[in-house]
């Protein structure tokens, strides 16, 4: 039965990473920008839960969402828009700079007052309790993560398929130059994609912060690195393959972590094995399918504008 437990936990983490992958993939689609600072949007949203301690949960989450959207739009306006015609390397380095700037600003919160790093989160505290189903102990937050993932993916698919702005976003992601010739407004499409990615970052932030019960200046950082790896492994140039890649890396991390031998002393514990196993898997996938694990057959490795 412990395998089923591991499986459900893995789906839960996969769903959160999938949300992040969609957020990263949407922005990549319209800007050809790999946003390394996505983790800090998550961090900012997570801090909003800390700052609104004592507020009703719904209000806290709403503030987190507003903060993530606001921070994303500011990043777009101040940095990404000016770099739109720059090389992918320039844009990536710029997002590194934003990422470290925000992390260090957050770190000041602790160093300035010489207090230990980390703030505890009380929002939705009931969700870390487990529900017992037979011999399984599943935390409520796992169900919330899976449900949030399913609802978000469905809404986004409807948005992209049924609405005019969705059509424009798809067109812009596939061929921005032609889209503009058809009257698609570049700024509107980019700001919409960035705002949606902000909402998804906030959802991921709430789930991550509630599960770990703590927020630090590094919240969202390691998750973003893993999701970026997952997105590349899945195939970054299509939203579906990027999302599946994000889900797969979350799923693999959780599942492999649970299944690896956990007895004995370092280095023979799962914590020590996990990154090696995951990255060996990543290397094998990239060697065998350079265009991405979920890329369409015959598709060439992605070429950038």
Partner 1 sequence: MAETLLELAGLEVRYGGVAAVRDVSLQIAQGELVGLIGPNGAGKSTTLHAIMGVLPASSGDVLLRGRSLRGLKPETISRAGIALVPEGRRIYADFTVEETLRLGLVGRRDRDGAEADLAWIRELFPVIEEFRDRQAGTLSGGQQQQLAIARGLAAGPEVLLLDEPSLGLSPKLVDVVFEALTEIAKRGVAVLLVEQRAQRTVALADRTYVLSNGEIRMTLSPKDAGDTERIVSAYFA
Binding residues vs partner 1 (CB under 8 A): 164, 167-168, 170-171, 174-175, 177-178, 180-186
Angular region, 118: left φ>0, alpha ψ -120 to 50, beta rest: left
Q: Which is nearer to partner 1, 132 or 164 (CB)?
A: 164
**Rounded to the nearest whole angstrom, what is the least distance from the CB of residue 296 to partner 1 in the complex?**
10
**Rounded to the nearest whole angstrom, what is the least distance from the CB of residue 42 to partner 1 in the complex?**
30
**Rounded to the nearest whole angstrom, what is the least distance from the CB of residue 184 to partner 1 in the complex?**
6
Residues whose CB is less than 8 angstroms from the CB of residue 26 and which lie 6 or more positions away in sequence, other chains included: 169, 193, 196, 197, 200, 239
Cα separation, 41 vs 70, whole angstroms: 9
**Rounded to the nearest whole angstrom, what is the least distance from the CB of residue 238 to partner 1 in the complex?**
9
**Rounded to the nearest whole angstrom, what is the least distance from the CB of residue 298 to partner 1 in the complex?**
13
Q: Which is nearer to partner 1, 63 or 83 (CB)?
A: 83
Phi, psi of 294 (to 5 degrees): -105, 15
Cα separation, 145 vs 251, whole angstroms: 13
Provide the b/e sequence for 189-205 (b: ≥16 CB within 10 Å).
Answer: bbbbbbbbbbbbbbbbb
Q: Which is nearer to partner 1, 239 or 252 (CB)?
A: 239
Q: Which is nearer to partner 1, 10 or 30 (CB)?
A: 30
Q: Which is nearer to partner 1, 183 or 267 (CB)?
A: 183
């Amino acid at each position: 039965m412990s395998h089923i437990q591991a499986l459900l936990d893995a789906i839960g983490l996969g769903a959160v990473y999938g949300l992040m992958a969609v957020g990263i993939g949407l922005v990549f689609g319209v800007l050809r920008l790999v946003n390394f600072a996505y983790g800090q949007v998550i961090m900012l949203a997570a801090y909003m839960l800390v700052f609104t301690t004592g507020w009703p949960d719904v209000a806290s989450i709403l503030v987190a969402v507003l903060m993530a959207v606001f921070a994303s739009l500011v990043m777009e306006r101040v940095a990404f828009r000016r770099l739109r015609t720059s090389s992918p390397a320039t844009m990536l380095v710029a997002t590194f700079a934003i990422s470290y700037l925000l992390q260090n600003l957050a770190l000041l919160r602790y160093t300035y007052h010489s207090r230990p790093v980390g703030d505890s989160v009380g929002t939705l505290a009931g969700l870390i309790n487990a529900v017992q189903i037979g011999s399984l102990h599943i935390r409520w937050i796992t169900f919330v993560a899976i449900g949030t993932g399913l609802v978000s993916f469905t809404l986004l698919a409807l948005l992209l398929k049924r609405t005019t702005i969705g059509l424009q976003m798809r067109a812009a992601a596939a061929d921005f130059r032609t889209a503009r010739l058809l009257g698609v407004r570049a700024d509107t499409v980019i700001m919409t994609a960035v705002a949606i990615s902000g909402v998804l970052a906030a959802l991921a932030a709430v789930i991550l912060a509630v599960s770990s019960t703590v927020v630090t200046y590094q919240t969202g950082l390691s998750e973003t690195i893993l999701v970026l790896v997952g997105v590349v492994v899945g195939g970054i140039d299509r939203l579906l393959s990027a999302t599946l890649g994000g889900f797969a890396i979350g799923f693999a991390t959780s599942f492999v972590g649970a299944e690896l031998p956990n007895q004995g002393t370092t280095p023979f514990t799962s914590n020590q094995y996990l990154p090696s196993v995951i990255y060996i898997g990543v290397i094998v996938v990239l060697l065998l399918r350079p265009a991405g694990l979920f890329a369409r057959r015959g598709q060439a490795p992605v070429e950038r504008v």
